[in-house]
Amino acid sequence: MSRSSTLAILCITALAGTALAFPTPGPDVIVGDLHDVLAYGQTGGISAFSVGTVSCNIGNQRLSWISGNNQHPVIGTNMFRYKVVNGAGRFEQIGQSWLKHGFYALSGSLCSPCGDPTDGTQLGVGCSDPYSASLNGSQSNLGPRSQVNASTGYYPFPVTGVTSPAAIIGRRLQVRNTDLAAAENAGATYFVEGQYVSADECAYGAGAQFNNASFRRVNVSFASNQYNIALNSTTQRQKAAIFAWRDVIDSTVNIQEQDVRSDGRFIIAHKVTQVAPNRWTYEYALQNLNSDRGAGSFTVNFPCSALQQDVGFNASFSHSGEPYDNSPWAANFSTPGQVTWATAQNFTQNPNANALRWGTMNNFRFTTNRPPRNGTATIGLFKPGSGATISFGVQVPRSMSDFNADNITDFFDYLDFVQAFSDSSMTADTDGDGTLDFFDYLDFVTAFSAGC
């Protein structure tokens, strides 16, 4: 049995275990700094960048860094943007790169004094290793994401089956110009993210692989016919980019982490914003940190009395010969009481369907006439495995018939509505047009009869 397959099995064993209470020895790589950026220009409406990364080993054992086999880390970078659209904020992924393959670990002291220098085939305990933006953007040394299992850290090596990179943008961190243009993105805030994947640390289990992404704010500008990025602020270590929405932009954003048994982690952020007297925008962002199974659907409660308005979706795009479909997930309201966004095809129909893969984030949104209540969202896992879904609490639209907002529809709601209506209380203005009339009464009775 090869070392890599041994590691993969060990990793799953460790993740499946429950002994998380005590510190686990082992190597633990993090992104200590995003320290360097480059812009390469544009082709066909797409701009290319690269981001330099400095890794640190904060564990208590050395981390493998062997260039000639699959026992070295791979490094991905992403770009994200926050902006306000029609009164509500959205934090979206707008770009992704292929993966830099680590080839030699220096023995630097970025995170702590390096007391364990090595010959370059391992990252010493407490030591750091820098890759410049130029190295991370060197096209011939970049491999596809699709061949990497970010949960176990396994990938075949050497990389095969890839086509030559396109000039300028091939394999690099690609972003559509429309996602960068000042005119279309007034007031936007941009972030880059770096993430290391290492089979070696995964073998020691229980959490070392969940701190491998860090983010940093960048500024975007346009000059000499190309988009440029410049570093801003400082690197936020051990935080996936989705945390920037809450920790940099808006402290009221809710974030939770959901782990898939024997697999990896999803991070879900959401926020409900009242954008008009009778309108609320629900924004959900789902980042797949390192789940190999990926997500194939996302479902939230949506009562039949809720208006469907500005239903939206966003995903970043795979490129440069990755086999994945890039078509957007369609929203489906056909099941009463919920909305589900899903891939165009399931895993059986197409293993390369447009699933939410590791290292990427999707957004789901709608605006409706219903205020929020506590409800449920569900991730449908894409690849088969133990358990098909993960459910967790989020804010969802409250049904019109639940007039007293206690999360159930019963006769008290009817009584309370009739009282409010006869008192000329605007709480009974169910259609939100600012006047109380028979149409409001009709709307409520219709929703009440349907139980939604």
Q: In the complex, which residues of this chain contact Ca ion (CB under 5 A)?
A: 28-29, 208, 211-212, 402, 404, 406, 413, 429, 431, 433, 440
Q: From start to end of 330-403, where are the E strands?
A: 330-332, 338-342, 360-368, 372-381, 389-397
CA angle 87, 356, 132 (to 5 degrees): 90
CB-based contact 414:265 (threshold 8 Å):
no
CB of 202 to Ca ion, least distance (A): 9
The nearest distance, CB 242 to Ca ion, in angstroms, is 17
Shortest Å distance, C-beta 438 to Ca ion: 9
Which of 293, 267, 265 is CA-nearest to residue 387?
293
Least separation, in Å, of the C-beta of 437 and Ca ion?
Answer: 6
Residues 6+ apart with CB under 8 A from 91: 80, 81, 82, 242, 244, 245, 249, 253, 269, 285, 363
Q: Which is nearer to Ca ion, 36 or 402 (CB)?
A: 402
- Which CB atom, from 59 or from 108, has the smaller least distance to Ca ion? 59
Distance between first and last Cα of the chain: 57
Eight-state DSSP code of residue 108: B
The least CB distance from residue 42 to Ca ion, in Å, is 34
Shortest distance (Å) from residue 20 CB to Ca ion? 15
Tell me whether residue 316 or residue 369 sits nearer to Ca ion (CB atom).
Answer: 369
CA distance 200 to 171: 25
CA distance 41 to 193: 20
Q: Residue count of the chain, please give it.
A: 452
Q: Of 119 and 410, which has the nearer Cβ to Ca ion?
A: 410
Burial class (CB in 10 A: 0-12, 13-18, 19+), 110: middle
Residue number with CB closer to Ca ion (29 or 260): 29
In the complex with Ca ion, the residue whose CB is nearer, 24 or 404, is 404
Residue with smaller CB distance to Ca ion, 297 or 305: 305
Shortest distance, position 442 Cβ to Ca ion, whole Å: 10
